[in-house]
Structure 1
Amino acid sequence: MQLFNACPVCTRACDVKTQRLGTFLSVKQRCPHCTFRRQWNSQPILGSTPAGNLHLSAAVYLSGASFIQIEKVFKAMKLELFRYETFRRHARAFIEPAVIHHWKVTQDVNLQRLTREEKVILGGDMRAHSPGHSAKYGSYTMMDLQTNTVVDIQLVQSNEVGGSCYMEKEGLTRSLALLESRDVKLDCIVTDRHPQVQKFLRERNITQYYDVWHFAKGISKKLEVLCKMKDCEKLNKWMKSINNHIYWTAANSTSGPERIAKWNAILNHVQDIHTHENPLYPKCEHAIRTTTDKKKWLQAATPAFYKLESLLTKKRTLKDVEKLSPHHQTSSLEAFHAVILRFAPKNVVFPFIGMLCRLYLAAMHFNENADRPQAETEEGVPLFKLSFPKSRKGECRAKPVKTKATFGYVSDMMDLIFDEVFFNPTPYNDALLAISVPENLSAQYERPDKEEVIASFVSRFKQGAV
């Protein structure tokens, strides 16, 4: 402000007035002794909107950050910032229409690519956007497993389908309807073992495979229970081998019966028997070794073997083994769900359009950075870091270090907002208004009078004698 105190013409004191609007500062300088006048703005003005305010709102939204947290940072540094209502006005008018438009454009490119392919292998899974069994939102993601590309996201609100337990089937139904309308030739779909999804795909005659990790996780939990039972401690030595056998069975089989034959072979293997009656898998493929630890093998008449056999040969288990996915899995989908947490944390409540836009942003970020190469030193040596996964119980593993993520989609949407949406928002807002937004969960109930509710408030610790 010292720069404005003195007149640059006559060097005498000037009258200075300031105006603040969020991060925008305007200074008006007038010299009462001569005719000098000047107005200085800290940032350009687009219409009546300071460009820096809009730029900050867009940067916060598109990067997946929280305005509430940014506001705390600004207060700690004693910086001026606009109110949350201004941020929401920027989001509704310019940012969310730009996000939806950019997603539709990129999705259209991906769907056109899938239309030209003869066989498309997709993975599908739903993610609930709040903890517990009474989630408000469920997002169903459809991913092209051959390219690790998110091709569709359907956001379902629980009151649309009568409860959170029906959201996954509804999301899948909507995604398949979109793919059919674009003439995508679906070869198969890889999912988890959700019963409603199984029945729906079976009735539609769509080939379905199960993700191996989900199946292995279920078997491992049941084996851990068996290992704690009396006379079953010996099964601890076979936990890792059985888990590896699940993945080997899925990856090295060409048909359902062959998977079952190889799966059942583990019961002979744990008895040190390596020839089998099933002609689809007559003997083990590994080299026969003479073991020095005779105690690790199971005996057929023992409780440990009987319980293991009952678990591995259940009718439901064999049906699931028959449909294990031979090649593609949904691990990339699980990685995408971790990315969503950065844009839409589960402990934050968003409106429907806000949640949808954050899902689109997460998908655009994932598609741009899913197949990043491994980072290397200047000498060309691949970089690794040490990892201690919780599931490995202290076992150390080497994990490749990938190159830094890029954010080209943010730059594209920034240009879209300032070059097109701001000056002609009508077509973009029309596309936003065309999205069907379900009514709030509380809309089905009659809203009581606020004063009556306040008057009836009584603490549970002061309710009086019973």
Structure 2
Amino acid sequence: MTDVSESSQIFTATTPGYTDSKYIVSARCLLELFEKCPICKRPSEVTPCRRGTFLAVYQKCPHCGFYREWKSQPVIGSCPIINLQLSAAIYFTGTSFFQLQKVFKAMHLKSIGYTTFRRHARTYLEPAVIHKWHQFQEEELQFLSQRKVKIGGDMRADSPGHCAKYGSYSLINLENNNIIDTQLVQSNEVGGSHNMEKEGLKRSLELLESKGVAVDYIVTDRHPQIQKFLRDRNVKHFYDVWHLAKGLSKKLDKVSKEKDCDIVKRWRRGISNHVYWAATSSSTGAEKVAKWTSLINHIQNIHSHDNPAFPKCLHPVRRTRDPKKWFQPGTKALYKVEKILTSKRVLTDVEKLSSKYQTSTLEAFHSVILRFTPKTVVFPFIGMLCRLYLAAMHFNENAGRCQAKTNSGRLRYKLSFPKAKKGAATVKAVKTQPTYCYTLSLMHLLFEEVVPNPLPYLEECQQIPVPSSLSSQHERPPLKDAIAAHVSRFRVEEV
């Protein structure tokens, strides 16, 4: 009985209609209220009229002439308010319209159609999202223009490989984990998907420059185009440690499967950990390289080194109980590992590893983007851009969540089995539940400002340059001719 003991909400004439509570009501129960005339108590003529979630009931008494018209929700102009609010709730939370439609159909719950949803999106929802993001970004960049910022950047493509249509490049403020910009690039704008990452970073840096934001340094992956681009612009550039460790781990895994190289498998995790230690415990690039190259001696049970930047291992020297765990000089395994760890590119990259901030938070943001823009769904350019902005709003609101606690006040943890660990368990902190205050703010903007006067918001939306579709560069044949030319490889020709 806890559900029905909820206190009643008091409504006034000034209460906004979109903030009212909503209830699911059976049509049979609802129409029972209009069966009898409230004046003469005799049967009335009842005519229901539905439009999406909106229901109007026209009641007329043939005996005493009583007539009334009842509406299930307020109407703004010609738009029922809950129809628009349902579209907004679907769009702002990143929900799939078609998945929700399946739920509604299973319940025989009346709803709006997809055409109505898209009309709401074009006219009201997307202009509201774009304005809200620009408003946040303007305030954020104005604040950042008063100091030098440390940023991280990375790109996410909407599909793997070299056939991606969209690439979204995001910049994060590494000091507070706020997404400060996300740029959407379509592959035909830059001559192919392999150029999207550089173009996205270029647009982001131009935006920061136009707003007077000075960049202290940027942390990215080791993309060669990004390296050259930032070097030409004289921007201080560091590399994310995880990307280097991941690349080395893949190469070591491959070597460990070769004959007489089983020992490499035992050291793969330790080598990966050493990358992080060399980066985070060093203050200069030379010190990072010295600590990294000392690993070649360390895996041979040699703990004194010729490099004055790091002459001796910091761990206490212990007596070896298992001599087989060390690499032996002159062996194939040592040769292969040394070749990988001391290659020219690896040493150059180790020198530029980031000592403090990494881009792992951007990887978490990419997983949030997946919730708003699944890779199995095709979105138009503006729709994709708005969903990126919504993902950024959601991420910025929830990036600083605290760790959850039990009723007794103990911090909560859970076991996780990441794919990269290959069956090994790891412990993760359980965070508090996410909040969705940005959706309430968008609802307020939508109904209080955009709907009464949508023109300025539409104009702001129309200022965004939209590239032509990928198919626009090809000739579109008439459908009739295409059907006539269609031949199935499974069709059996008559003899």
TM-score, normalised via structure 2 length: 0.92
Q: Return the offset for 1:145.
A: 0.8
Q: 1:253 aligns with which of 261, 282, 286?
A: 282
- Determine whether 1:282 maps to 2:316: no
Number of aligned residue pairs: give it. 464
Counterpart of 2:103 in structure 1 is 73
Q: Which range is displaced more, 421-430 or 381-390?
A: 381-390
Contact 1:275/1:282 (8 A) holds in 2: yes
Q: Which range is displaced more, 354-363 or 179-188?
A: 179-188
- Determine whether 1:53 maps to 2:83: yes
CA distance in 2, matches of 1:130, 1:39: 52
Q: Return the offset for 1:238.
A: 1.1
Which one-letter code corresponds to 2:436 in the other structure? Answer: F
Q: 2:455 aligns with which of 417, 426, 430?
A: 426
CA distance in 2, matches of 1:91, 1:127: 24
Counterpart of 1:90 in structure 2 is 120
Which one-letter code corresponds to 2:186 in the other structure? Answer: Q
Counterpart of 2:52 in structure 1 is 22
Counterpart of 2:240 in structure 1 is 211
Q: Return the offset for 1:390.
A: 2.2
Counterpart of 1:370 in structure 2 is 399
CA distance in 2, matches of 1:29, 1:289: 93
- Determine whether 1:100 maps to 2:127: no
**Structure 1 unmatched runs, 5+:** none
Counterpart of 2:211 in structure 1 is 182
Where does 1:374-453 land on structure 2 (aligned, <5 Å)?
A: 374-453=403-482
CA distance in 1, matches of 2:255, 2:312: 27
Q: 1:233 aligns with which of 259, 262, 276?
A: 262
CA distance in 1, matches of 2:229, 2:160: 26
CA distance in 2, matches of 1:379, 1:294: 48
Give a deviation string over 1:292-312, Cα, whole Å, max 9, x none. 001111122111111111111
Q: Return the offset for 1:462.
A: 3.0
Q: Return the offset for 1:320.
A: 0.9
- Determine whether 1:314 maps to 2:372: no
CA distance in 2, matches of 1:145, 1:423: 39
Q: Return the offset for 1:130.
A: 2.1
CA distance in 1, matches of 2:160, 2:84: 33
Over aligned residue pairs, what C-alpha RMSD do you find? Answer: 1.1
Contact 1:137/1:155 (8 A) holds in 2: yes
- Determine whether 1:62 maps to 2:92: yes
Q: 1:352 aligns with which of 381, 386, 399?
A: 381
**Structure 2 unmatched runs, 5+:** 1-30
Q: Which range is displaced more, 100-109 or 383-392?
A: 383-392
Which one-letter code corresponds to 2:204 in the other structure? Answer: S
Q: 1:12 aligns with which of 20, 42, 53?
A: 42
CA distance in 1, matches of 2:161, 2:300: 43
Contact 1:131/1:346 (8 A) holds in 2: no
- Determine whether 1:152 maps to 2:181: yes
CA distance in 2, matches of 1:144, 1:172: 14
Of all paired residues, the percent bearing the same amino acid is: 58
- Determine whether 1:41 maps to 2:40: no
CA distance in 2, matches of 1:34, 1:187: 81
CA distance in 2, matches of 1:243, 1:108: 40
Q: Which range is displaced more, 156-165 or 234-243?
A: 234-243
Which one-letter code corresponds to 1:61 in the other structure? Answer: Y
Give a deviation string over 1:146-203, Cα, whole Å, max 9, x none. 1100000000000100100000000000000000111111011000111111110111
CA distance in 1, matches of 2:69, 2:160: 53
Counterpart of 1:2 in structure 2 is 32
- Determine whether 1:129 maps to 2:158: yes
Give a deviation string over 1:301-340, Cα, whole Å, max 9, x none. 1111111111111111111111111110000000000000
TM-score, normalised via structure 1 length: 0.98
CA distance in 1, matches of 2:238, 2:299: 28
Which one-letter code corresponds to 1:281 in the other structure? Answer: F
Which one-letter code corresponds to 1:411 in the other structure? Answer: L
CA distance in 2, matches of 1:225, 1:317: 17
CA distance in 2, matches of 1:384, 1:427: 48
Which one-letter code corresponds to 1:228 in the other structure? Answer: K
Counterpart of 1:143 in structure 2 is 172
Which one-letter code corresponds to 1:187 in the other structure? Answer: D
- Determine whether 1:109 maps to 2:139: yes
CA distance in 2, matches of 1:2, 1:405: 41
